[in-house]
Structure 1
Amino acid sequence: MPKVSVIMSTYNCKDFVSLENSVMSIINQTFTDFEFIIYNDGSTDEGKTSDYLKETAKLDSRIKVVDCYENHGLAYAKNQMIEMSSGKYITAQDDDDVSHPERLEKEVKFLDSNPEYDFVGTVAKVFDGNGIWGHYDLVEKPTKESFLWNSPFLHPTVMFRREVLKEVNGYRVAKETMRAEDYDLFFRLYAKGYKGFNIQEDLFEYRIENDPSKKYRPMSDRIQEAKVRYKGFRSLGMLIKGIPFIFKPILIGMIPQKVFYFIRKKIY
């Protein structure tokens, strides 16, 4: 039985180079006692993603590829992979991000040595096709107040204790969590009294496109996130304090794209 289960979901992959880089960043980890479950979430690209993943599985015996014939979204896919997994610890890897070689080793060491914490993530470098362009800062020891502006954890860096995910029934599959399943999960974990820690070391490279002409998120997704925020702040007993922040994603979506581009550069 592996100590760590790494889970990854992909759908209609458009950049196989990025996918390969992401997969190889896990295969080349200094910590080796893991299984790597890659889930094809009902891709409809005439078998291109499926065929590529089958070839990818030949790279390493720890890789297990699962083909789903219908797309259900990230939350459903992750719950399926959690059920299939057997590791003591579970962590996700997005199909276009890169884990640094010591990421798993340092997160396992932290959880082994700090039983008072239920999950652990890291800070990260931010990159796109042109290279590193920013940094993803996170508070080391998030509190409930840390949830107000954004999620205080970068989800694809986070390693969970298996039993903690089981206690909250994994990811919530709902319309409003389609683009905010991670934020929703962390709200529910903290509402249950669980807590996480962020290692203040760049053990991850997180892809965010830095293109002023590209629309970052549609308004429909922002409205759904507002619903997640409402439920989350209510569950943490801080709804009154959270009211202004519930509307934050909607208000940001009203900012002209070129202005938002400069704001984002300042943030990262």
Structure 2
Amino acid sequence: MGKVSVIMPVFNSATTLHNSVLSVLSQSYPDFELLIVDDGSDDNSYELALSLAEQDKRIRCFRLPCNSGAAVARNKAIAMVSGRFIAFLDADDLWLPDKLEKQVEFMLSNHAPISFSSYYKIDGEDNNIGFVGVPERVSYQDLLKTCYIGCLTAMYDTHHFGKVLMPEVRKRQDYALWLTLLKHTDYAYGISQPLAKYRIHKGSVSYNKFSAARHTWRVYRECEKLPVPVAAYYFTHYALRGVLRKYAPAFARLTGVMH
């Protein structure tokens, strides 16, 4: 069907790395390689990755000489992949066991060059704290308004795009990549079934809404080169959707009580 190359950047992730790797090794779809790139960790993440690689020949480990950011780590791996499909998983997130099987089958059946899925949110103790659904498809313009694509669920087909690297910015580089890919196809296609678990923790970009907003603006201006009025238009959509996502559930509960 097509080999999948899984990209996993690692930085001081010794406490979560094993479970994240195990969620890849436990996939029902066996035709994959896992490229782990240690981004200058100062804990024992790299040694742990090496020990895991000794147990499964599908794992390949690399190490950057100093901390350079997730984009640099991911790009090092992308340059060396051998699979048709490229997927991403951070070292603190998890995949459900049929993630690769479901997604590869979906992409081949629907001739989808890039896909993504719904996912669960979990806390530091693996407790389920939320759910993120996705639309059936999104265009470049749709994605400028809000990033529907969770990096841990994304997969793109190199037969369509070739190997496309992430812009080497410190944050939101995955968002910038999806925008780049969507300039070369009509849509990214969403899978409604949740296929992954995204860990929320203090310090993550998604946790710090102000930081996420600032880096989103930088993607508009520095990566996409949008003029200020155009960037402001899409940023307004991004901000309003963020407010709605935060307060709509509470509003729905309130109106339900009132009725």
**TM-score, normalised via structure 2 length:** 0.82
Report what 1:259 is aligned to.
none
- Which stretches in structure 1 are left out of the alignment for 5+ residues? 256-261
In the other structure, the counterpart of 1:223 is 214
**Compared with structure 1, are the counterparts of its residues 224 and 202 closer, same or farther at alpha carbon in structure 2 (3 Å cutoff)?**
closer
Cα root mean square deviation, aligned:
3.1
CA displacement at 1:89 relative to structure 2: 0.7
Hey, what does 1:120 align to over in structure 2? Answer: 115
CA distance in 2, matches of 1:128, 1:137: 18
**Which residue matches 1:41?**
39
| Structure 2: distance between partners of 1:157 and 1:164 | 19
Q: 1:28 aligns with which of 20, 26, 34?
A: 26
Match status 1:100 vs 2:96:
yes
1:70 is matched with: 66
CA distance in structure 2 between the aligned counterparts of 1:126 and 1:64, rounded to whole angstroms:
28
- SS state of the match for residue 6, structure 2? strand
Shift of 1:65: 1.0
Superposed displacement of residue 12, structure 1:
1.8
Find out whether 1:205 has 2:197 as its counterpart: yes
For structure 2, list consecutive stretches of 5 or more residues without a partner in the other structure.
252-259
Picking from 156, 160, 172, the partner of 2:156 is 160
Conserved 8 A contact 2:11-2:39: yes
Structure 1 pair 243–106 and aligned structure 2 pair: CA distance change class (3 A): closer
- What code does the residue aligned with 2:84 have? K
Whether 2:182 is the aligned partner of 1:186: answer: no
Task: Assess if the C-alpha contact under 8 Å between 2:220 and 2:231 holds in 1.
Answer: no
Q: What displacement does 1:243 show? A: 4.9
Conserved? CA contact 1:233–1:242, under 8 Å: no
Residue 139 of structure 1: aligned partner: 135
Q: Do the aligned residues in 2 keep the contact of 1:189 with 1:195 (CA within 8 Å)?
A: no
C-alpha contact (below 8 Å) 2:144/2:179 kept by paired residues: no
Distance in 1 separating the partners of 2:37 and 2:249:
33
Aligned-partner Cα distance in 2 for 1:233–1:189: 15
Identity within the alignment, %: 27
Residue 71 of structure 2 aligns to a residue in which SS? helix
TM (norm. structure 1) is: 0.79
Say if 2:119 and 2:195, in contact at 8 Å, map to a contact too.
yes
Q: CA deviation at 1:164?
A: 4.5
Letter matched to residue 204 of structure 1: A
- Secondary structure of the 1:84 match is coil
Name the structure 2 match of 1:258. Answer: none
Q: In structure 1, what is the Cα distance between the partners aligned to 2:121 and 2:248?
A: 11
Is 1:118–1:194's contact at 8 Å kept on the other side of the alignment?
no
Shift of 1:146: 2.6
Instruction: Give, as a single letter, the amino acid of the residue that structure 1 aligns with 2:157.
Output: R
Task: Report if aligned partners of 1:43, 1:69 keep a CA contact under 8 Å in 2.
Answer: no
1:5 aligns with 2:1: no
Partner of 2:75, secondary structure, is helix
- CA drift at 1:220: 5.6
**Partner letter of residue 198 of structure 1?**
G
